[in-house]
């Protein structure tokens, strides 16, 4: 068991190493632009995955509305951060509404406003929806997600969201530190919530609703709180995604985006924050690094038939199935990362090697 002081030292060293890596990437942005892009998308998805885990993993609500709440946050950031001088070039079809046409907000206030709007919609949706359970709740939240996306893309919203034409010229991150610092703050706040009395109530509801209610926990109230807070941070992540991409449209927030986030949550482990973060990087990076399978492969004059567009996802799916077979509850299960388990793994590995080497030498 590692004492508290060494753990703090290890945390400081880990943070220092990460800051050093980010500083190096930032200084060589032109050369490592692709790597920076993967890392930024991964940490944004990590925020959504942890937010989804808050409802699905810690509270036991099967919600699939993440894409819709991300869309609200993304469009809020896009609408209010596009420079006034550039808006005519964005809303060139029907123009822009007078209500928002002269309002330009800094990134952080726009980001918080996007989270607030997502939480507000979640609060309204939650009143009828959270009385449902299991698959019915999943279908209802999925349906509301599609309704949000359809409303954003509708012609009636052209003067605000630019309808199906989407938004362009959204200011992008000036530094890799911006998305990582903001995402770290969001994840830290969710972790603090999970460790609070509200978090314990969420877990009690997940384990047994009847027993939780018997202990005086208001089921609807806590479910609503979990749903609203999760949606708030999902909206924040949507705003970060808008700034990451620089341009968005309603097609960005299809149902498949929710499925991607659900994949990350399940792969990392339901009820594990560190599992969601780790899986986010593995899934996002894995999809990108396997792209060479989509390119034709020649061996002399013979072209390998399997290497073609789409083969990357076949390999990716096979790897996912292998992980699920070996880790049925996800990579982390319901556990969190700790230095004790991390260092213990290497100790066990080292002792196993010593036993093998000892056995070989005895055999001689």
- Tell me which residue has tokens 């992540």: 237
pLDDT of residue 4: 60
**Shared domain check, 113 and 80:** yes
Q: Which stretch of 43-52, 79-88, 278-287, 292-301 has the lowest confidence by average pLDDT?
A: 292-301
pLDDT of residue 287: 82
Cα-based angle 205, 51, 107 (whole degrees, multiple of 5): 145
Global pTM?
A: 0.89
Contact 282, 267 (CB under 8 A): yes
**267 against 5, higher pLDDT:** 267
Q: Please count the CA atoms within 13 angstroms of the CA of 77 that sit on its side-chain side.
A: 32
DSSP 315-338: HHHHHHHHHHHH-TT-SSTT----
Q: In the predicted model, is pLDDT for residue 59 greater than 80?
A: yes
Asked whether residue 162 is assigned to any structural domain, the reply reads yes
208, 235, 270 — which closes off a domain? 270
**Shared domain check, 14 and 153:** no
**Shared domain check, 170 and 158:** yes
Q: 360 pLDDT band (50/70/90 cuts)? A: low
**150 against 100, higher pLDDT:** 150
**Shared domain check, 220 and 158:** yes
250, 270, 290 — which closes off a domain? 270
CA dist., res. 350 & res. 334, Å (int): 26
Q: 148 pLDDT band (50/70/90 cuts)? A: very high
Average pLDDT over residues 26-48: 93
Tell me, letter by letter, the H, E, C secondary structure of 145-167. Answer: HHHHHHHHHCHHHHHHHCHHHCE
Q: Which stretch of 46-50, 73-77, 87-91 has the lowest confidence by average pLDDT?
A: 87-91
DSSP 98-130: HHHHT----HHHHHHHHHHHHHHHHHHHHHHHT
Q: Summarize pLDDT for 158-185 with one digit per residue, the tens.
A: 899 988 888 999 999 999 999 999 999 9
Q: 45 pLDDT band (50/70/90 cuts)? A: very high
Q: In the predicted model, is pLDDT for residue 90 greater than 70?
A: yes
**Shared domain check, 25 and 68:** no
Distances (CA, A) of 168 to 79, 81, 159, 171, 242: 10, 11, 14, 9, 10
Q: Distance between the two ends of the chain, CA-based, in angstroms?
A: 37
Asked whether residue 303 is assigned to any structural domain, the reply reads no
Q: Summarize pLDDT for 316-353 with one digit per residue, the tens.
A: 778 778 877 887 788 888 788 776 776 666 666 666 65
**Shared domain check, 183 and 249:** yes
Q: Please count the CA atoms within 13 angstroms of the CA of 294 that sit on its side-chain side.
A: 10
Q: Summarize pLDDT for 171-227 with one digit per residue, the tens.
A: 999 999 999 999 999 999 999 999 999 999 999 999 988 899 898 899 999 999 999
Asked whether residue 335 is assigned to any structural domain, the reply reads no
Q: Please count the CA atoms within 13 angstroms of the CA of 329 that sit on its side-chain side.
A: 8
Q: Summarize pLDDT for 110-137 with one digit per residue, the tens.
A: 999 999 999 999 999 999 998 888 788 9
Distances (CA, A) of 2 to 7, 9, 13, 204, 351: 7, 11, 15, 30, 18
Average pLDDT over residues 18-32: 91
Cα-based angle 198, 200, 202 (whole degrees, multiple of 5): 70
Q: Provide the token pair at 190.
A: 């969710």
Q: 356 pLDDT band (50/70/90 cuts)? A: low
Report how many domains make up the chain. 2
Asked whether residue 67 is assigned to any structural domain, the reply reads yes
Mean pLDDT for all residues in the chain? 86
pLDDT of residue 303: 67
pLDDT of residue 132: 86
Average pLDDT over residues 289-308: 68
**Shared domain check, 40 and 3:** no
**295 against 93, higher pLDDT:** 93
Asked whether residue 283 is assigned to any structural domain, the reply reads no
- Tell me which residue has tokens 């998305």: 179
Domain hosting 181: range is 33-270
Q: Provide the token pair at 221.
A: 């109230």
């Amino acid at each position: 068991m590692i004492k508290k002081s060494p753990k703090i030292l290890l945390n400081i060293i880990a943070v220092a190493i990460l800051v050093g890596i980010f500083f190096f990437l930032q200084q060589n942005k032109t050369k490592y632009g692709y790597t920076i892009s993967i890392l930024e998308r991964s940490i944004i998805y990590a925020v959504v995955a942890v937010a989804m885990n808050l409802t699905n993993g810690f509270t036991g609500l099967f919600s699939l509305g993440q894409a819709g709440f991300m869309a609200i946050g993304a469009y809020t950031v896009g609408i209010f951060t596009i420079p006034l001088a550039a808006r005519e070039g964005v809303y060139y079809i029907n123009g822009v509404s007078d209500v928002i046409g002269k309002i330009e907000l800094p990134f952080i206030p726009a980001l918080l406003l996007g989270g607030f709007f997502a939480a507000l919609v979640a609060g309204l949706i939650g009143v009828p929806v959270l009385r449902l359970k299991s698959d019915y709740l999943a279908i209802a939240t999925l349906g509301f997600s599609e309704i949000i996306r359809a409303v954003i893309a509708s012609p009636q919203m052209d003067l605000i969201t630019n309808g199906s034409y989407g938004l362009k010229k959204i200011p992008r991150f000036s530094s890799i530190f911006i998305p990582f610092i903001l995402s770290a703050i969001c994840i830290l706040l969710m972790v603090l919530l999970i460790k609070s009395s509200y978090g314990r109530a969420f877990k009690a509801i997940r384990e047994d609703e009847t027993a939780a209610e018997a202990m005086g926990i208001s089921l609807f109230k806590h479910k609503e709180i979990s749903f609203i807070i999760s949606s708030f941070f999902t909206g924040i992540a949507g705003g970060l995604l808008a700034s990451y991409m620089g341009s968005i449209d309603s097609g960005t927030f299809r149902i498949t985006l929710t499925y991607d986030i659900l994949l990350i949550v399940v792969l990392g482990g339901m009820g594990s924050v560190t599992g969601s973060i780790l899986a986010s990087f593995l899934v996002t990076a894995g999809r990108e690094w396997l792209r060479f399978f989509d390119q034709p492969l020649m061996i002399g004059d013979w072209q390998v038939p399997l290497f073609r567009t789409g083969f990357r996802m076949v390999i990716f799916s096979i790897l996912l199935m292998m992980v699920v077979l070996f880790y049925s509850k996800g990579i982390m299960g319901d556990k969190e990362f700790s230095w004790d388990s991390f260092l213990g793994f290497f100790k066990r590995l080292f002792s196993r090697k010593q036993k093998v080497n000892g056995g070989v030498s005895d055999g001689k």
